[in-house]
Amino acid sequence: MNKTIDSDVLNSDPASLEKDRLRQANRRLVRRMLLITAAMFGFGFAMVPIYDVLCQVTGLNGKTGSRVAAVEPMKIDESRTVTVEFVANLNVTAPWEFAPQVTRMTVHPGQFYQTHFHARNLTHQSLVGQAIPSVSPGLAASHFQKIECFCFNRQQFHAGESKEMPVTFRIDPDLPPDVRTVTLSYTFFRLDEAGGS
């Protein structure tokens, strides 16, 4: 009988009850933290496409969209020059070489110009990628007109393949006169559906 009383006393020991409560509370906390971590990861992953859509719709941050500009004639302003700089960036998961043929050009607003970007697949499999353009300063984005651009389409690369990819553009003469330098930047992304096709 004493043994039964002793075990009941042990089972109802406040210290062991407190340890059990702490274990359960810790398990609940760990579950919540894992759920919050998964939600934060999902939100962070979704931010890039949401941001790109927002920028394309509003023109925010110099996003130029993927539309072909109208090829209507414009008066060429030969009294004015604008420096256009070209920048190539790679997304961390993009296994390519990617660089502009020239890093800067001096152009007259209203006149068409063409340059190329070089890209090479560094893997032993076929890949698909796409370049996302951005123009800075953001004010210049609506005045930078791309007539032909590799960024309009997904680019298929065979294993080890190199490409010279053209960009035909002009600067609208309505670009504010205090803007003397415009930067066209591309970030090249690997697309998931590339697989091994």
> pLDDT by residue (tens digit) across 81-98?
999 999 999 877 678 899
Q: Do 45 and 130 belong to one domain?
A: no
67 vs 93, which has greater pLDDT? 93
Question: What pLDDT, in 10s, does the model give residues 119-157?
Answer: 999 999 998 988 889 999 988 888 999 988 888 889 999
How many domains are there within the chain? 2
pLDDT of residue 11: 55
Domain region containing 67 = 63-194
* Distance from C-alpha of 22 to C-alpha of 12, rounded to nearest angstrom: 16
This prediction has a pTM of 0.62
Polymer length in residues for the chain: 197
Q: Which of 123, 117, 67 is nearest to 88 (CA)?
A: 117
Half-sphere exposure of 181 (CA within 13 A, CB side): 6
Query: Beta strand pairing status for 181-190 and 127-136?
Result: antiparallel
Q: Do 50 and 76 belong to one domain?
A: no
Evaluated on CA atoms 190, 191, 193, 197, the torsion sign reads negative
pLDDT of 67 > 90? The answer is: no
